Chain A
Amino acid sequence: MTDFLMPALGADMEAGMLVEWLVKPGDRIKRGDIVAVVETQKGAIEVETFAEGIVSELVVPIGTKVPVGSLLARIGEAAGEEPPAPHPIAAVLPPPIAPITSPVLPTGAAPIAAVHRAKVSPAARGRATELGIDATTLSGTGVEGAVTVADVETAARTIAVPAAAPARRKALDAAEMRKAIAAAMGRSKREIPHYYLTHTVELGASLSWLEAANAAQPVPKRLILAVLLLKAAALALRDVPQLNGTFVNGAFCPGEGIHIGWAISLRGGGLVAPAVLETDKRSLSELMSEMRGLVQRARAGGLRSSELASPTVTVTSLGERGAEAVMGIIYPPQVALIGFGMVVTRPWVVGSRIEPRPVVTVSLAADHRASDGHTGALLLNAIEQLLQNPEKL
């Protein structure tokens, strides 16, 4: 007994409707005979049989739509005849005859409610996770105000996290700050191969110029020595740009502008180093008021995100706190930390005589991946030269 199945008649035919039987049970059929007519989307198609024998049973009545491969009829061997040679083609098992239904498409999902998300770049997110910071609370300087890697790294150096809106201000917490400093400093020492240079600079010219300049000014407008030191450092960095910038992903990235992070100690312990933007382009009086403002805001917890985000190098001065030199630890990912020790009076060789002169030890902690001693020395020498001509600062 051979099965006569609904044939596939085309690439995209899934089912057909049997509309006419051209044979009836008992008819003898041979290969190539047309035995039925099937209606398809293209029209009525005559179907031939490849089996031979006597029609035994018409299984599907006319008017029925069935899937391709369904059993339509059974063909038996003619009585007295030898069974035909085994068909070399295995019969395709017909699926159960079932009505065809088109898939029902969903009418549409419920509208998506608007979601507010903080904008943080993927790279910044990764960095923030590394540093243990919640990036979503930071203010960003990136495209569309997104938080960038630079923003995250700046925030890592301080616990005071100001926001654009006062509502997001965090209270200063000495213990938290200690932790953040510990994390940053620990990482710095682990990852950055530091080298150190020191240089002693004679400050006679600077101090006399300062005294004269201040004599002509009312007290609120008077300059302090730190301003001169800061400006000298900034101008020196113009000559030695290799020390102004960051080291990220194995490469030195020069800073876009010179924005010196000025290290400010906070009451109760802790340290912030907000940037004085475009330090090299500011006049001394501008720098003075800027520094005064920074110190006030730092101690009150009101620093602006742009100030925290963008230092390209850090300068730290011990002022009168009683050490001659400071060998600092670089704030990553910067490549340099310039330190000024306490001004002291020391014997100094002038011509062939020895005289007491005010001197200060300038130190440089630098990332050896981004620069070498020669470069560092150039910077310190430049600072020295600048401080000998304070009227040009």
Chain B
Amino acid sequence: MSARVRLDHDHVRHLLRQMIRIRHFESKCAELYQAQKILGFLHLYDGEEAVSVGVMEALTPEDAVVATYREHGQAIARGVGMNALMAEMLGKQEGCCHGRGGSMHIFDRKTRFYGGNAIVGGGLPLAIGVALGDKMLGRNAVTACFFGDGAVDEGEFHESMNLASLWGLPVLFVCENNLYAMGMALERAEARTDLARKADAYRMTGVAIDGMDVVAVESAARKAVEEIRAGGGPQFLECHTYRFRAHSMFDAQLYRTKDEVEAWRKKGPIGRFEGWLLKNSLISEEEVHRIEVEADAEVDRAVVFAEAGTPEPVGELERFVTMEAVPA
């Protein structure tokens, strides 16, 4: 797989479609949450679509993904079906995790999607382990590990970066820097806000890119993954992005101004890419409209599927606590 992004019609349409699918899915989640169909915590991805979509283009089905509690975008871009995803959010046993995990703990074996993790920084040690195991088993696989700017402060980040670099593990550390760790602004939390430079401390290549530009993300991800696969060791990709919605649903956003949010919305990945495609006649208005209608239909089908789903019998409560065998 080369580092060059093929900007032909099929591919650009695919990139746009992926981002729109994610955006519509998230919107539906917000609606269901307000109607108390989805419960607990809900962390939506609006604004960050380009990061997941771009990075996934650089991965093969043999690679692995570890993500955070804000992982619907990663899951959809990776290929986890919307039906299973929505059913999981509604707590049904037809969900990808039998309704046991919920929004923050999406796991999918088929797509090598190793969660969903509600502990900030908690997925990084796991990701280096996945990479270590794959490497020891002779698999030519790369593990993409997604986390936010908040994770960079946790000890587990530093431990994992160091160990990955020391042992040459095939990990792509993808930092989605959306400028806020819940309500904590970057400049109030970081002694050094230039996050990509933290990789230098671990002798790791660290690159900062515009996370709102899906092509830039794909290009950078392809290059990094190619180098990792060639045995160059782990790499750190800092994607500058922004979340348009609150940290979670129950957030009054006292820590940032409406003007700031509006300004970033105008620079959002979908609008920007769509505008560029239309301007360069790489896509038609009609096609965009069709993509949106299809995305809506897909999401609606997922809701129907999920609503028709069944709650797991309470008698099975203690299932899955311990495994009978390692799944083949």
Contact, chains A and B (beta carbon distance below 8 A): yes
Residues 22-40 of B, flagged 1 when their CB comes within 8 A of A and 0 if not, give 0000010011111111011
Q: Provided the pairs A32-B27, A89-B31 are in contact, do residues A42 and B251 lie with their beta carbons within 8 angstroms?
A: yes
B262 to chain A, nearest CB (A): 12
B205 close to chain A: CB less than 8 A: no
Residues 32-76 of B contacting A (Cβ, < 8 Å) = 32-37, 39-41
A31 to B30 alpha-carbon distance, docked (Å): 12
- Residues in chain B near residue A348, CB distance under 8 A: none
A10 touches B250 (CB 8 A): yes
B35 touches A11 (CB 8 A): no
- Residues in chain A near residue B33, CB distance under 8 A: 7-8
Residues 1-57 of A contacting B (Cβ, < 8 Å) = 5, 7-13, 31-32, 40, 42-45, 47-48, 50
A91 to B37 alpha-carbon distance, docked (Å): 10
A13 touches B30 (CB 8 A): no
B34 touches A13 (CB 8 A): no
Total interface residues on B, CB under 8 Å, equals 24
Interface of A is mostly: loop
Q: Provided the pairs A8-B35, A89-B37 are in contact, do residues A40 and B250 lie with their beta carbons within 8 angstroms?
A: yes
- Residues in chain B near residue A114, CB distance under 8 A: none
- Residues in chain A near residue B89, CB distance under 8 A: none
B307 close to chain A: CB less than 8 A: yes
A89 to B27 alpha-carbon distance, docked (Å): 14
Q: Provided the pairs A11-B40, A88-B307 are in contact, do residues A45 and B35 lie with their beta carbons within 8 angstroms?
A: no
B254 close to chain A: CB less than 8 A: yes
B228 close to chain A: CB less than 8 A: no
B36 touches A69 (CB 8 A): yes
A68 close to chain B: CB less than 8 A: yes
Residues 250-293 of B contacting A (Cβ, < 8 Å) = 250-254
Nearest chain B residue, comparing its CB with the CB of A48 = B30
A45 touches B303 (CB 8 A): no
A12 to B250 alpha-carbon distance, docked (Å): 9
B36 touches A8 (CB 8 A): yes
B34 touches A8 (CB 8 A): yes
A9 touches B254 (CB 8 A): no
B27 to chain A, nearest CB (A): 7
A48 to B248 alpha-carbon distance, docked (Å): 15
- Residues in chain B near residue A48, CB distance under 8 A: 30
A112 close to chain B: CB less than 8 A: no
A212 close to chain B: CB less than 8 A: no
Find A9's partner among B39, B40, B250 (CB 8 Å cutoff).
Answer: B250
A92 close to chain B: CB less than 8 A: yes
Q: Provided the pairs A88-B304, A88-B307 are in contact, do residues A7 and B35 lie with their beta carbons within 8 angstroms?
A: yes
Which of A5, A40, A45, A90 is the most central at the interface, judged by chain B CB atoms within 10 Å of its CB?
A45
Nearest chain A residue, comparing its CB with the CB of B41 = A11
A89 to B28 alpha-carbon distance, docked (Å): 10
List residues of chain B with CB under 8 Å of any chain A CB.
Answer: 27, 30-37, 39-41, 246, 248-254, 300, 303-304, 307
9 closest residue pairs by CB, A with B: A10-B250, A43-B252, A7-B34, A50-B31, A42-B252, A8-B36, A9-B250, A43-B254, A45-B252
